[in-house]
Amino acid sequence: MFQNAGTLSKERRTQLVAFQKKANIRFRSLELLNLSFTHRSCGNEDPSRCQNNERLEFLGDAVLGLICASCLYELLGERSEGELARVKSYVVSEEVLSELAAGLALDEQLLLGKGEEQSGGRAKKAILADATEALIGAYYLDSGFEAAFRFVRGLIEPEIAKVLQNRHHKDYKTMLQEYAQKYHKSYPLYRLVKRSGPDHDRTFWVSCEVAGANYGPHEGKNKKEAEQSAAKSAYEGIVAAGGLEAARMLQVENL
């Protein structure tokens, strides 16, 4: 299925070997490792590179989910299924996976088409998170489940610890929605106020309304980021206005 690593240039082989040392992994097939970094945009401009990392991403997502669930089951034996699910949803999120990719300098290994490169694809969280899953899938195929388990466990245990110590990135949209549903029988309302900048470098401004109170607008490089920023503003505003009681209401059942 995969070509011999000799088809890779000497420079690329050197890059991949250096990456393995940094990530503390060892592939039998450098071609498979290289494929895990190959974004679909490459095929748009070079039909000879029709293979990309999407199938590996699909596999890696499943492998990551299983390993994460196994670690949580072992580490958090006293926690309920709901609590395990909450921690897992954070650990396998795009936000965390993209941060793990940055820690591995995975962005330097990505193979992108010219258009994606020019639009800042090397720094896009979705592309980085997908490549992290593809790398996990590739390592599972190349070296087996035990090797993949050791690699993934080393990546995610610090993230699990962050959640348990309440040092993790908060999903303010989810927390705010749970608060609004539970205490106001409503949902937060997000409005796109404006957008600015060229297509490849847009800035979005979003406001948030909760129970008749407006917060924002706040900016982000995409609507999702802007909504998260507006939700954070609303969350913090409600806590500030309601004191400790509101804080407890907002944080209930959130790790």
Give the residue numbers marked as catalytic. Answer: 61, 133
Q: Which residue has the tokens 């258009």?
A: 115
Rg (alpha carbons) of the chain, rounded to whole number? 21
State the DSSP code for 111: B
Place of tokens 């409503």: 186
**Backbone dihedral region for residue 139 (phi beyond 0: left; psi -120 to 50: alpha; all else: beta):** alpha
Is there a contact between 91 and 159 (Cβ–Cβ < 8 Å)?
A: yes
Tell me if 36 sits within 8 A of 23, measured CB to CB.
no
- Residue identified by tokens 């890696």 is 60
- Tokens encoding 200: 């490849």
Q: Are 53 and 35 in contact (CB under 8 A)?
A: yes
CA 214 to mean position of chain CA atoms: 29
Backbone angles phi, psi at 12, to 5 degrees: -70, -40
Q: What's the CA gap between 10 and 19, in Å, rounded? A: 14
- The amino acid sitting at 25 is I
Q: Provide the token pair at 87.
A: 């921690």
